[in-house]
Chains A and B, each alone.
Chain A
Amino acid sequence: MKTASKPNSSTYDAIVIGGGHNGLVCAAYLAKAGKKVLAVEKRPVLGGAAVSEETVPGFTFSTFSYVVSLFRPQIIRQLDLVKHGLQIIPMETTYNPIPGDAGLVRWADGGRTRNEIARFSKKDASLYSEFGLSMGRLSRFTKNVIDTPAPEPASLNPKELFKLLKMGKLFKDFDADMRYLNVKLMTMSAVDFLEEWFESEPLLPSMAGSGIIGTFLGIRSPGTAYVLLHHYMGEIDGAFRAWGFSKGGTGQISLACARAAVSFGAEIITDAAVERVKIRNGRAVGVVLENGGEINARTVISGLDPNRTFLKLVGEDELPASFVGQIKRYKNRGSSGKVNLALSRVPNFEDGRPGLQHLKGDITIAPSIDYVERAYDEAKYGEFSRRPFLNIVIPSLSDPSVAPPGKHVLSAFVQYAPYNIREGAGKWPEKREAFGDAVIDTIEEYAPDIRDCIIDKQVLSPWDIEKMTGLTEGNIFQGELSLEQLAFLRPVAEWSRYRSPINGLWMCASGTHPGGGVMGAPGELAAKTMLKEGGV
């Protein structure tokens, strides 16, 4: 999609800083409501961390975010995103390779999955569907949490208390078993929670792995269990599967949002980095671009992370000291990297399985609980994991449009790669190669021919992610998804409703409730809140 780098006008109802998917969703909703909206992106491509780029000629990488997890179906409906090019291809399998073994594949078919699990534990196999059912029931509650702004427990406003009561009632309407499960799920570690059900590897680490993605926590760290729910939410969204690829790469989601925004009359400019938010008498009145241009607006909405928004674009001087303290305490802690490979063929996992069907979903390298935990232990003390937890996808198997015929792209999400390595984050460029090698060495243990398949590669450390996208410390969720940074505490207490201490300055991205992932929910909720509260 073609975009200009200069705005048509000098004054807007709202300016959205950052052309990430949340910013674009927010812009689209505001434009749809008749507002004059401008979205400003610093990079030449739109999408923020949800971009597709032809990094190697002929190969389209989903550079950062590589799967669509919980993109809200109501956004697809309300913004008519399919008309604007969105197509999501469901991911049907989860594959855990084991060297010299067929490994474990979990399929869409429950019976088939059970037989696979039975190879490792018949007891686990017999419990697997019951577990899914409990989680499915529980996700009804979580869905409500994701799709509404966070209630404010400290408020004395009757409206807020009513909301809390409603949430409480929803909780109360569950049967006692579900409530108990919910208490456990919200506080326990993924491993402890899963060990109440299962006993075998690689099932346990494979499932638990989803609890740590993007966090600086281990699978044994309390507070990692609740993310497991996300895998069960797809079904209650009415979708067939919770996870999928966006056709043409993750960037297509952002582009569909952008086209929708433009179709509603929004304007989008790229190659236009915002230097600072213009503040007059404590009120945001526009932005100043790095190229010196100034654009005025009644409302400024930041799609950047809280740290960048407030400490860089606004500045400490404009903000109450206590708020600055809160933002400084807000934990970003990038913990993951990314390795994208252009491949001449599909690597051979030597698992004796016929066909490639089992490679079409995600491929998780997490052979044992100890393996994943050791990867974390290294990261705690400032090293990248020598044998990391990997979440690999080969989207070209489902979407041939992203690679030349017969060739493939492989995207490996790597955990852990701490932003703050022992030598200091600035030393990442020197360690990047070694980091990439550790990842490829790891893959090689499962697919011994991987090196022969590689045409080209892109290795991204959290430092690179920060440099390219602006995400502070390369945290893919714009801030750690730990309990004390969720819901009414996201990003910080008293400012969890998309507003900020600066009048006219709002937040709309993953640093706000309900948090990160390609969900679109923060953008949607921010726009709806602003429209309702007369913020724009």
Chain B
Amino acid sequence: MNWKDWAGYYAVASYDTNHDQEYFAYRHAAGLMDATPLFKYEVKGPDSLNLLSRIMAKDIGKLRLGRVTYCCWCDDDGKILDDGTVARLGMDHFRVTAAEPFLHWFLQNARTLNVTIEDITAKFGILALQGPLSREILVHAAGGEVATLRFFRLIETRIDGRNVTITRTGYTGDLGYEIWCGNSDAIAVYDALIESGKNYQIMPAGLAALDVARIEAGFIMNGVDYFSANHCLIDSQKSTPYELGLGWSVNLERDCFIGQKALQAEKETGSSWQFVGLEYDWEAFEEIFARFDLPPQTHSGAWRTAVPVYGRSGKQVGQATSGAWSPTLKKNLALASLRNDDYSKGDALFIEVTAEYERKRCPVRVSDPMFFNPERKRGK
């Protein structure tokens, strides 16, 4: 078993010495992961919507009851602080997830608002049940209404007699659910899910497998593919939602929200960076290693030490921030930021590859970062 630090908690990276089986569970059966260390906030009160509308780049006013949305939030300069989900449980009742602690941010922005914000990180457990068979397992555990739960919707129900909130969301880019339960109920719910899944080859799964899955799905990660503006040492380390391919989640035409002016300006004048997926040219990759008489060597899991990306002239045009060999697609993938001044659509690109201690450049093809996007993810 491999452990990893996650926000001050021990979290499982992989239950075995190697994460392969867990990855395949995510993609072919179901993996059950403990996502409790995710930061969770509960926002209640008459002004909850006003608060979230002010903070989030997305118009939360449009979020209907019983739905969940993915969104990001920015500082005054439109630089991204974090990304996460907002779930609407009632007219004046929301839950927010975040990768980093933001209680102070929520509180600071609530000065004139009639709203309560509670850090419920330690109060609730989150179990992520992800994979093509997760629906069957959950129907078995929680009953039939889960069967009709649509993508990014939530229901409140019971598992093993305990109250849970189930959202059809996840970080694997596959069919999947996240189950919120009271902290003290978490172990019972976990056991119930394992019990329900035993005929479906459910597996406890960890973060290492998740990391591969999320790269295939093109999901960015705070602290890897971008850095929270509050944690950057210099301005150039900051990013904006547009630069990260999250422009679709920004709603400019509405009441004031934090970063609005800067984002408006960026939308008008254009962004400095763009976020892309990169697929290695496999033959060229093979060739690089073949020169040393070696078979192509890929990482065993996801990597997150950034490497430079070059243009044809040899000039660095950006960096790949994380990547993985996709066992499903049989491709070597990376997520990358490219500088718009130096890269235009169609330009040839090369990524740095180290073969036998030597740095080489391997041609890559630009692609939609959502490399793997099965129908079942959002389908009925």
Which residues of A come within 8 Å of B, CB atoms? 109-115, 118, 122-123, 125-127, 129-130, 133, 136-137, 175
Contacts and interface: CB of A to CB of B under 8 A. Distances in A.
A110 B8 contact: yes
23 contacts: A109-B8, A110-B8, A111-B7, A111-B8, A111-B9, A113-B8, A115-B8, A118-B119, A118-B122, A122-B103, A122-B119, A123-B103, A123-B104, A123-B107, A125-B101, A126-B101, A126-B102, A126-B104, A126-B105, A129-B101, A129-B231, A133-B233, A175-B235
B101 A114 contact: yes
A114 B233 contact: no
Interface centre among A111, A122, A130, A136 (most CB of B within 10 A): A122
A130 B230 contact: yes
A241 to B, nearest CB: 18
Nearest to B228: A130
B8 A133 contact: no
State the 3 A-B residue pairs at the shortest beta-carbon distance, nearest first. A111-B8, A126-B101, A126-B103
A127 B104 contact: yes
A115 B104 CA distance: 15
Given A114-B101, A133-B233, A137-B233, A126 B119 contact: yes
Nearest to A114: B8
Given A111-B6, A125-B101, A130-B231, 6 more contacts: A111-B5, A114-B101, A115-B8, A118-B122, A126-B102, A129-B101
Nearest to B105: A126
A111 B6 CA distance: 8
Q: How large is the interface on B (under 10, 10 to 19, 20 to 34, 35 or more residues)?
A: 10 to 19
A172 to B, nearest CB: 15
A220 to B, nearest CB: 23
A349 B328 CA distance: 55
Contacts of A137: 233
Name, among A109, A127, A133, the residue most crowded by chain B CB atoms within 10 Å (CB to CB).
A127
A115 B7 CA distance: 9
Contacts of B8: 109-115
A503 B104 CA distance: 58
Residue from B5, B8, B103, B230 with most neighbouring chain A CB atoms (10 Å): B8
Contacts of B107: 123
Contacts of B230: 130, 133
Question: Binding site of B, secondary structure by majority: helix, strand, loop or mixed?
Answer: mixed
Interface in B232-277: 233, 235
Nearest to A175: B235
A114 B6 CA distance: 12
A122 B101 CA distance: 9
Instruction: Identify the interface centre among A111, A126, A137: most chain B CB within 10 Å of its CB.
Output: A126
Contacts of A114: 7-8, 101
B345 to A, nearest CB: 33
Contacts of A130: 230-231
Contacts of B102: 126
A44 B231 CA distance: 51
Contacts of B122: 118
A7 to B, nearest CB: 52
Contacts of B7: 111, 114
Contacts of A127: 101, 104
A130 B100 CA distance: 11
A148 B233 CA distance: 24
Contacts of B5: 109, 111
Nearest to B233: A137
Nearest to B6: A111
Contacts of B235: 175
A133 B231 contact: yes
A220 B102 CA distance: 28
Interface string B23-49: 000000000000000000000000000
Contacts of A115: 8-9
Interface string B99-141: 0011111010000000000010010000000000000000000
A522 B290 CA distance: 59
Nearest to A116: B8
A194 to B, nearest CB: 14
A113 B5 CA distance: 13
Contacts of A109: 5, 8
B219 to A, nearest CB: 22
Nearest to A115: B8
A201 to B, nearest CB: 17
Contacts of A113: 8
Nearest to A130: B230
Contacts of B6: 111
Contacts of A129: 101, 231
A453 to B, nearest CB: 33
A105 B122 CA distance: 19
Nearest to A112: B8
A133 B233 CA distance: 8
B124 to A, nearest CB: 14
B122 to A, nearest CB: 8
A204 to B, nearest CB: 15
A126 B39 CA distance: 10
Contacts of B9: 111, 115
Contacts of A133: 230-231, 233
Nearest to A113: B8
B103 to A, nearest CB: 4
Nearest to A198: B104
Contacts of B104: 123, 126-127
A110 B6 CA distance: 10
A129 B105 CA distance: 13
B250 to A, nearest CB: 24
Contacts of B105: 126
B101 to A, nearest CB: 3
Contacts of A136: 233
Contacts of A125: 101, 103
B183 to A, nearest CB: 14
Interface string B317-344: 0000000000000000000000000000
